Amino acid sequence: MNVHVQGCQVAADGAPKPVRRENGQREVFCGLTGIVWLHRKIQDAFFLVVGSRTCAHLIQSAAGVMIFAEPRFATAIMEEKDLAGLTDANDELDRIVAQLIARRPEIRLLFLVGSCPSEVIKLDLSRAALRLSQKFSPAVRILNYSGSGIETTFTQGEDACLASLVPAAPPPRTSEDQLLIVGSLADVVEDQFIRLFDALGIGRVQFLPPRKAAALPAIGPNTRFLLAQPFLADTARALEDRGAKRLAAPFPLGVEGTTAWLRAAADTFGVAPALFEAVTQPHRIRAERALLRYRVQLSGRSIFLFPDSQLEIPLARFLSRELSMQLVEVGTPYLHREHLAEELRLLPDDVVLSEGQDVDLQLDRCRAARPDLVVCGLGLANPLEAEGMTTKWSIELVFTPIQGYEQAADLAELFARPLVRRAKLVA
């Protein structure tokens, strides 16, 4: 066990918010999980996991709904002889990639995704990607990243994937400032944001990841980027290495978060305050009205967020400020102080924050508090439900469109639904 509490540097009104740090046993999915939403987002990409049967099972069960479609992910299973070094894993990989590309000519971007087994035998997938790229480019670009569960959490798979795309992005063709939205969003949400930016007069908006491999955004010193997801530390660093500048903002969850996020872009691109007001006000009013019925259901209810998706802090801000929920504890696997600074400022001063996990200790705190609702991973949800607690699976929050004005009420409903279900069960 390794627990300590220390003050972080983020101040709300001058008062630092203490963060409990834990470094014990954790209960989280690995980064391979990101393939489930990323393969739907980049429509001509393929994800080839270089891993074990366990990895294949994880991906297939997490993405079980795709069973009727021809999936754009697969696992090159490393057998015992590969792991024991009895065969050349690189030769095997080259053979499988050649077969795959011959069978699926529509693939334009192939990710070789590392796993725990490939890391354990130190299979160098970056060299493999380089070697295979030379063979198959320009028809197919081949990149690599790691989705291994060794010291990572499941949303870091997206971070690693997007970071691997950055060096492949072209330089800008113009010196004009460009807005880049970073983090995968459902297409419907992306389209709503495109319309809003357009109405604000910010027409040159690009997205990472793009929907098509050939549409990789141009990146350079004139790129101003807004993070749409709070778990993209490596991607942000890679963008900054290319000269891009991050716009500090809360994340676009709820009415307040969405408005502040849009405002960060509007201020940078010189949008007049009156235009910003005229464009956003009807959306804000409609979204606030839609939130009302959920505020009635959720106000005053207590909630405990276990560390899982890294969305916990923006969610806690939304739940406490827009729905008046009581935060018992807000856990996050990692706390990126810089990217989360605007969020932390908006949390109540007495919020209990924890970073990392020692799952048994955290379960004890949760049981002692008996919150009305617990947000946690799948592994904890069933035992807690059996103990009479009401839970929400945090992974659902990553799969569901929750960003932007139109989705604010849908996001609130995700928290109201388990409470309604529990009320029906005990009635």
Instruction: Map 345-365 to HEC letters.
Output: HHCCCCCCEEEEECHHHHHHH
Helix (H) or strand (E) holding 243: none
Specify which residues 312 forms β-bridges with: none
Q: Which is nearer to ligand SF4, 154 or 197 (CB)?
A: 154
Q: Reduced to 3 states, what is the DSSP secondary structure of residue 302? A: strand
Contact region with ligand SF4 (CB under 6 A), list: 48-56, 125-133, 165-173, 267-275 = 48-56
State the number of binding residues for ligand SF4 (CB under 6 A). 12
Write the CB contacts of 134 (distance below 8 Å, at least 6 apart in sequence). Answer: none
CB of 339 to ligand SF4, least distance (A): 25
Provide the sign of the torsion angle of the four alpha carbons 220, 221, 227, 230, taken in this order. positive
Q: Which is nearer to ligand SF4, 51 or 371 (CB)?
A: 51
Scanning residues 137 to 196, which ones bind ligand SF4 (CB under 6 A)? 147-149
Q: 357: number of CA atoms within 13 Å, CB side?
A: 26
Q: How far apart are CA 169 and CA 249, in angstroms?
A: 24
Q: Which is nearer to ligand SF4, 152 or 362 (CB)?
A: 152
Q: How far apart are CA 142 and CA 160, in angstroms?
A: 15
Cross-sheet strand order for the sheet of 3-11: 3-11, 16-23, 353-357, 326-332, 302-305, 373-376, 391-393
Q: Which of 10, 28, 30, 89 binds ligand SF4 (CB under 6 A)?
A: 30
Q: Which is nearer to ligand SF4, 77 or 218 (CB)?
A: 77
Which amino acid type is present at position 391?
T
CB of 243 to ligand SF4, least distance (A): 33
In the bound complex, which residue of the shown chain has the CB atom lying closest to ligand SF4?
149
Q: Which is nearer to ligand SF4, 125 or 236 (CB)?
A: 125
Q: Which is nearer to ligand SF4, 30 or 380 (CB)?
A: 30
Interface pattern 96-135 for ligand SF4 (x via CB under 6 A): -------------------xx-------------------
Interface pattern 257-286 for ligand SF4 (x via CB under 6 A): ------------------------------
Instruction: Name residue, tokens 């590969």.
Output: 82
CB of 235 to ligand SF4, least distance (A): 20
Scanning residues 53 to 82, which ones bind ligand SF4 (CB under 6 A)? 54-55, 58
CB of 229 to ligand SF4, least distance (A): 20
Q: How far apart are CA 412 and CA 295, in angstroms?
A: 8
Q: Which is nearer to ligand SF4, 51 or 210 (CB)?
A: 51
Provide the sign of the torsion angle of the four alpha carbons 27, 30, 31, 34, taken in this order. negative
Q: Which of 26, 28, 48, 51 binds ligand SF4 (CB under 6 A)?
A: 51
CB of 148 to ligand SF4, least distance (A): 5
Contact region with ligand SF4 (CB under 6 A), list: 47-55, 180-188, 326-334, 397-405 = 47-55
CB of 163 to ligand SF4, least distance (A): 18
Q: Which is nearer to ligand SF4, 129 or 244 (CB)?
A: 129
Q: Which of 19, 32, 125, 166 binds ligand SF4 (CB under 6 A)?
A: 32
Specify which residues 332 forms β-bridges with: 355
DSSP conformation class of 32: G
The angle subtended at Cα 400 by Cα 106 and Cα 353, nearest 5°, is: 125
DSSP conformation class of 335: -
Q: Which is nearer to ligand SF4, 148 or 391 (CB)?
A: 148
Burial per residue of 231-253, b for 16 or more beta-carbon CB atoms within 10 angstroms, e otherwise? bbbbbbebbeebebebbebbbbb
Q: Give the binding site for ligand SF4 (CB under 6 A).
A: 30, 32, 51-52, 54-55, 58, 115-116, 147-149
